[in-house]
Structure 1
């Protein structure tokens, strides 16, 4: 079975005209899976809806004062600008639901070996501030939650978004039970890149073959060295050659091969994996749908290969 986690609220957020964040892509991806890929329960595909977490649940990860100010709309204007969204009640509701979705994906992956969240990957949120369209860090939150489950003593976050997971790195820098592994463009946001446990920084215009060859070597070494009990995978598609915020030259097939590589390694090693769709940026949001769908297609291929 392949569990997919989705909630309509992910795309239900009014943003200013020409805002860079592709808010409609989540709804478009869900519709593509239903209408074009024809996924349903008979194919072993089950869709799950999360229930929103409470704000207090975030205070063990983020500074309580930051959470209070964020949720009560008392953050200074400069800090909201750093996040990149105008404040609204709907933004807060969406944030609580998406974070819950990543946690639910962890639960489903622990039960079924895999789970995929059709949102998530907000890795630029730090302990006491948000940044880069990220209010709270669902990856770090979910990783800490995973450690509370039976037989999970070490978690690895494999972050393949084109932007370094700086918030994840700082939030988890003192937690030896969670390994942070970021694969990103060296000359891209954020300008300051705090050290992850493993950083694979690749140059602008890295090609498909160079990306995959280098990533596979480091991934295999990381799995052998750390032997995680659980993996959280950020399958950002902003590595694509036409992404507006990316700077890599990776093709559509390269995204599929990357996702297939990660999922197949986890299945071979019997490591449960919770995946999120991560970043991807186009003015035409529909152009992102096929890119994000590669993760689901790879999961279908890998987990039906028996």
Structure 2
């Protein structure tokens, strides 16, 4: 399974800044050492036309040229530095590359990504450009994908993604998130599930089961491309998450999502999204478990067991249109 990373370009952050940028390199090193089935590759830089297809030209130019106001930088959470646009374009490039790979092989991943707070004309919540939106629009325009599904299980609501696809039936957005967590002013997506602080495993998994069933009922057509934001921040060890899922609960979350994807056989892009650990190794354990489940599904799709009664739907490529 192809996995794209972009941790070579660090941000220039002040001392004590709470964004854990070191986690990206640590995850890459962990996966390289412990998950040999991954094909780890440095991310390419996203082409500007793809980014401008989602974000306004004025906003993109301000990011590239250092024209963000102090208020805009505070909203994003990072001070502008020449490394900011470089990192942002590679973050989007990782998701674009993973999307190409997923459409060819069924499943691929970005070791970061899930920058779901960025909307057309502004960033926010440590998100500069919205990688999922850019990749979804690229897939629709360049590969003819007609139905996209976003399964956003980061603990924070994907307000930017919801705003970008509001009123667009070709992209369905599902978000399970903390009701009282950031962003404090939510933007309604197609299906939003607000969860109370400290809900724990049982309530979370029950809500997820109901949400996935509701997606099946409401999708206008079967999804051809799915973006799964597998944020680690619902975990009980996360500094900002507050939902209190155990490690076993996080694994059960992923099992449900991958079982749903197994049934629908849509090309899938896995994104690691958020995670603000009190203990880095605990975060890496959760993320590694997610990746291992994804790798098992990739292997199943690319090395299917022989069918006694093959049909056209048995081929992933036929089902996914890829």
Q: TM-score, normalised by structure 2?
A: 0.88
| Cα distance in 2 for residues equivalent to 1:303 and 1:176 | 28
Q: Which residue of 1 aligns with 2:93?
A: 100
Whether contact under 8 Å (1:22, 1:285) holds in the other structure is no
Q: Deviations over 1:65-122 (max 9, x none)?
A: 1111121111111111111101111111010001010111111111111111101011
Partner Cα separation in structure 1 for residue 104 and residue 49 of structure 2: 26
* SS at 1:266 equivalent: helix
Say if 1:24 and 1:285, in contact at 8 Å, map to a contact too.
Answer: no
Q: Which residue of 1 aligns with 2:194?
A: 201
Paired residues for 1:87-166 under 5 Å:
87-150=80-143, 152-166=145-159
Q: Which residue, 221, 230, 239 being the options, matches 2:225?
A: 230
* Structure 2: distance between partners of 1:129 and 1:268: 37
SS at match of 1:140: helix
Q: Distance in 1 between matches of 2:190 and 2:165?
A: 9
C-alpha displacement at 1:177, in angstroms? 0.7
Residues 4, 94 of structure 2: 8 Å contact kept: yes
Counterpart residue number, 1:5: 4
**Of residues 10, 20, 27 in structure 2, which corresponds to 1:22?**
20
Secondary structure of residue in 1 paired with 2:122: coil
Deviates more, 1:71-80 or 1:263-272: 263-272
Structure 2, unaligned runs of 5 or more:
306-322
Cα RMSD (Å) of the superposition? 1.7
How far apart are residue 57 of structure 1 and its match? 3.1
Aligned to 1:62: 55
1:279 aligned partner? 274
- Structure 2 counterpart of 1:183: 176
Moved more, 278-287 or 87-96: 278-287
Which of 260, 269, 293 is the matching residue for 1:265? 260
Could you tell me the TM-score, scaled by structure 1's length?
0.92
Question: Which secondary structure does the structure 2 equivalent of 1:293 belong to?
Answer: helix
2:234 and 2:241 in contact (8 A); partners too: yes
For the residues of structure 1 that align with 2:139 and 2:280, how far apart are their CA atoms? 32
Deviates more, 1:56-65 or 1:101-110: 56-65
1:147 partner SS: helix
Deviation at 1:304, TM superposition (A): 4.2
Alignment partners' CA distance in 2, 1:150 and 1:94: 26
